[in-house]
Amino acid sequence: ETGVTQTPRHLVMGMTNKKSLKCEQHLGHNAMYWYKQSAKKPLELMFVYSLEERVENNSVPSRFSPECPNSSHLFLHLHTLQPEDSALYLCASSQDPRENTGELFFGEGSRLTVL
Amino acid sequence: AQSVTQLGSHVSVSEGALVLLRCNYSSSVPPYLFWYVQYPNQGLQLLLKYTTGATLVKGINGFEAEFKKSETSFHLTKPSAHMSDAAEYFCAVSDRHGNNRLAFGKGNQVVVIP
């Protein structure tokens, strides 16, 4: 099992669809993150979960809804997206943020295209 | 709030030549500094990091970076580029206040010319 696994790797959806991105980590970490990677822009931190509690939400539109049922799984539920939401969505995990090693372990990303 | 600046989105280097990627940071507290690499169709992978101690940090694949507080810089170098170094490189900074909130730069796309 690789460290952080994301599915699906590619997703095409219409603006009225509902879909979900899934992330699973096998590293024993207890913090998980969603990042958005768009061309020519810095990575944007969307959500942070620490010990299954959401600790950060960076003003992300409500059409993105995260869910963290346990420390190994993280979902991003998508609903009524816009074409500008097309991007690579990266999941990451880390040890307890309070230890602040600063090292994140990333999945390979889910490439989302909104038509 | 912390931030990093990476100039020049695309960097071309000849195979065997020096790789130099510049990173300047802004932080109100002593920072932790990182370089991550992203190969095509993959996620980000840690190359190296500076937390405390020696200011010259060695990472994987022959890369190294030097923390220079006076210049607020953390430039990444490799003496001799290899074709396999073609990737996107991101500099990142976090503070030391007990969180993993990394602020990333825009990245440098490195192209290696045979």
Instruction: Give A52-87 pLDDT, tens digit per residue.
Output: 777 777 789 999 999 999 989 999 999 999 999 999
Instruction: Note whether A32 and A92 are within 8 A (CB).
Output: yes
Closest to B106 (Cβ–Cβ): which among A40, A99, A101? A40
Q: Is B8 exposed, middle or buried (0-12, 13-18, 19+ CB in 10 A)?
A: exposed
Taking contacts as CB-CB distances below 8 angstroms, the residues of chain B near A6 are 43
B9/A98: higher pLDDT: B9
B99 to chain A: which residues are within 8 Å by CB? 97-98, 100
CA distance B73 to chain A (A): 18
Interface of B with A in 62-101 (CB under 8 A): 90, 92, 94, 96-101
* SS3 at position A80: coil
Query: Average pLDDT for residues B7-21, to the nearest whole number?
Result: 94
Buried b (16+ CB within 10 A) or exposed e, A4-23: bebeeeebebeeeeebebbb
Question: What is the rounded CA–CA span in Å between residue B83 and residue A49?
Answer: 38
Indicate the pairing of strand A31-37 with strand A53-57.
Answer: unpaired
Q: Rounded to an integer, what distance in angstroms lies between the CA atom of residue B44 and that of residue A90? A: 9
B90 with A43: Cβ contact below 8 A:
yes
What is residue B97's predicted lDDT score, i.e. its pLDDT? 62
Q: Is the pLDDT of residue A99 over 80?
A: no
Please tell me the predicted confidence (pLDDT) of residue B55: 93
Region B21-48: mean pLDDT is: 91
Q: With bands split at pLDDT 50, 70 and 90, how would you rate the model's confidence at B12?
A: very high
Residue-level length of chain B:
114
Give pLDDT, residue B98.
56
Q: How far apart are CA B112 and CA B109, in angstroms?
A: 10
pLDDT in tens, A8-56: 999 999 888 899 999 999 999 989 999 999 987 888 999 988 877 777 7
